[in-house]
Amino acid sequence: MPSLAPAPRLDLLGLPLEQLTRLVVDEIGERPFHARQLYRWIHQRGVTDFDQMTDLSKSLRAKLRERCALEPLAKDLEQRSVDGTIKYRWRTRDGRLLESVYMPAPDRKTLCVSTQVGCAMACKFCMTGTLGLLRNLTAAEIVAQVHAVNREVAHNEGLALTRPLTNLVFMGMGEPLHNFENLKDALQILQSEDGPNFSHRHITVSTVGLVPMIARLGAETDVKLAISLNASTDAQRDELMPVNRKWKIADLMEACRTFPLRQGRRITFEYVLLRGVNDTDEDAGRLVELLRDVPAKVNLIPYNENPGLGFFTTGEERAERFREILARGHVAAFIRENRGRDIAAACGQLANRQGPGAAAQESPSGATA
Ligand code: SF4
C-alpha cells in the first residue's frame, strides 16, 4: 500500500547558490535570476516566509510553499548569563536538541555554532562528549543557528541590521571536521556575497585533530584553524582525547605545518588547563618545543568543572606561570576569559542542560526563532 505521508519538503536554507539555481531552473522551471533573488531574501534579509518575498511571482511563491521549507530549528530555551552571554537551545524537526552560544563584546558579536548533535570524539573533560554522536547537523541546521541568532540580536538590541553578528566560531557541540561536507556547504553560504557575506578573517573552525580533514579544510576553504590540543605528550593526550590514539601529536603538528596560512595568520591552539593533569612547568616547556616551528598562538582556557567528570580548575597563579613560560619561549599565549559559566555555556559544557545560576526563559511552546 502506498504511503500517505507527505513527501518531506526540501530545506532551502542549506543550499549554496549554485544548487539553489539548479533547483529553481531544473525542477521548478523558472529562470536563474529568480534563484539569486530567492537566495538574497533567505540569506541577506533573513526572511523565512515565502509570502514576504514580494518581488517573486505569486506562482513561484506557491510552488516554493508547496515543495520547500525554510526553518529547520525552533527555539526551545534561552538562558542569559550575568556576563551578557546568551545560550540558545534549538529543537530540530525530528526533536533533537542542540545549542549555540552568543558572546557579545565591545568590539565584536560572536556566535559559537554547533555542527553535530552530541559528539563522537569522547574527550574526557567535555560534557558534550558524554552524549555520544546522535547525528550530524544538516547544512540548513548549521546556517539556521546563525540566521536565528542574527534575528534575536537585532531584536534584543534594537538594531536595524539584518546581520549584527560579526564573528563565527565553530566550537559548539560536535567535531566540525567529522561533518565536513555539511560544514563546507554552510561555510559557502555564510561567506557568499549574495548571502551573509562573513569574511574568512572572522570565521574559525576548531578541531581535535582529524588529520586528513585538516588538509581538506585548508585546500577547500579559507577560514581560520584552531586546534584543541590540551596535552603536551602523547601519553597524556591518549588519555584525555581518544582521537590521539589514531593520530599522534607529531601527525597533528605536521598537518599544522603544512596547513596553508594567509600572510600574517596563525593557528590558534586551545589548551584547557586541568589541575595536576596538564598544567605543570614541564608541560609548558614541552608546549614551547611542540610549537617552535608553527605560526601559533595559544589560548589557555581555565577549565569549567563539570560534575562527575573528575577534572578540576587550575588556579590563577598557576595559569599565569604557565602563560609566562610560553611567553619566555616566544609563544604568544592568552588566558581566555570564561564566558557563560553560570549557564553551562562555556567551553566543554554544552550538553543540553541548564547551569546552576541560569535565568532560563522558556520560549512560548512551538515558537520559531
Ligand atoms: S571537546 Fe569538542 S570534540 Fe571533544 S567531545 Fe567535546 S565537543 Fe566533541
pLDDT tens-digit readout, 44-89? 999 999 999 999 999 999 999 999 999 889 999 999 999 999 999 9
What are the cell numbers at 294? 608553527
User: Which of the four pLDDT bands, split at 50, 70 and 90, describes residue 35?
Assistant: very high
Structure confidence by residue, pLDDT tens digits, 84-116: 999 999 999 999 999 999 999 999 999 999 999
Q: Say whether 114 sits in a helix, a strand or coil.
A: coil
CATH of the domain at 99: 3.20.20.70
* Residue range of the domain that includes 100: 73-362
Residue 369 located in a structural domain: no
Question: What is the C-alpha separation between 204 and 339, in angstroms, rounded?
Answer: 17
Predicted confidence at residue 367, as pLDDT, reads 30
Q: How confident is the model at residue 161 (pLDDT cuts 50, 70, 90)?
A: confident
pLDDT of res. 343: 77
Count up the domains in the chain and report the number: 2
| The pLDDT value given to residue 354 | 57
Determine the Cα–Cα distance for residues 295 and 265; give it in Å rounded to an integer: 8
Statement to judge: residues 50 and 79 lie in one domain: no
Dihedral of the CA atoms 339, 344, 349, 354 (nearest 10)? -160
Last-in-domain residue among 19, 53, 69: 69
Q: Domain for residue 48, yes or no?
A: yes
Mutate to test the pocket of ligand 1, among 101, 123, 210 (most ligand atoms within 8 A of CB): 123
Q: CA-CA distance, 114 to 174, in Å (whole number)?
A: 6
When pLDDT is averaged across residues 345-364 and rounded to a whole number, the result is 55
Q: How far is the CA of 298 from the centre of ligand 1 (A)?
A: 18
Kindly tell me if the per-residue pLDDT of 324 is higher than 80: yes
What is the mean pLDDT of the segment spanning 306-333? 95
- Strands 203-207 and 97-105 come out as unpaired
CA atoms of 140 and 152, how far apart (whole Å) = 18
pLDDT of 348 higher than 80: no
Tell me the pLDDT band of 186, cut-offs 50, 70 and 90: very high
Same domain, 28 and 124: no
DSSP string, 316-361: HHHHHHHHHHHHHTT-EEEEPPP-SGGGT-STT--SS---TT-EEE
Tell me the whole-structure pTM to 2 decimals.
0.92
Is 4 domain-assigned? no
- Which pLDDT tens digit goes with each residue over 198-228? 999 999 999 999 999 999 999 999 999 999 9
Residue 278 alpha carbon to ligand 1 centre in Å: 17
pLDDT at 126 over 60: yes
The set of protein residues with a Cβ atom below 6 angstroms from ligand 1 is 119, 121-123, 126, 128-129, 173-175, 208, 228, 348
Q: How far is CA 320 from the centre of its chain?
A: 28
Residues 18 and 129 in one domain: no
| Displacement of CA 132 from its chain's centroid (Å) | 17
Judge whether 174 lies within some domain: yes
Query: Is the pLDDT confidence value at 156 over 70?
Result: yes
C-alpha cell at 12: 532551502
Domain annotation covers residue 5: no
Q: Which residues are catalytic?
A: 99, 347
Indicate if the pLDDT at residue 366 is higher than 50. Answer: no
Find out whether 17 and 39 touch, Cβ atoms under 8 Å. yes
120 pLDDT higher than 50: yes
| One domain, residues 27 and 170 | no
Distance of alpha carbon 226 from alpha carbon 221, whole angstroms: 14
Q: What's the average model confidence in pLDDT over 250-263?
A: 96
What is the pLDDT confidence band of residue 353, given thresholds at 50, 70 and 90?
low
CB atoms within 10 A of CB 162: 15
Quick one: pLDDT band at residue 357, thresholds 50, 70, 90?
very low
The whole-angstrom separation of Cα 298 and Cα 317 is 17
pLDDT at 358 > cutoff 80: no
**Apex 67 CA angle, 66 and 73, nearest 5:** 100
Hey, how many other C-beta atoms are within 10 angstroms of the C-beta on 338? 16
Q: Are 356 and 36 in contact (CB under 8 A)?
A: no
Same domain for 65 and 171? no
Which pLDDT band holds residue 355 (cuts at 50, 70, 90)?
Answer: low
Is the same domain home to 83 and 39?
no
pLDDT tens readout for residues 1-15: 444 445 567 899 999
Identify the CATH number of the domain in which residue 47 sits. 1.10.150.530
Distance CA 216, CA 180 (A): 9
Q: Which atom of ligand 1 is nearest to the CA of 347?
A: 1
Residue 240 has pLDDT above 80, yes or no: yes
Same domain for 235 and 96, yes or no, is yes
The reply to whether 181 falls in a domain is: yes
Cβ-contact 114, 350 below 8 angstroms = yes
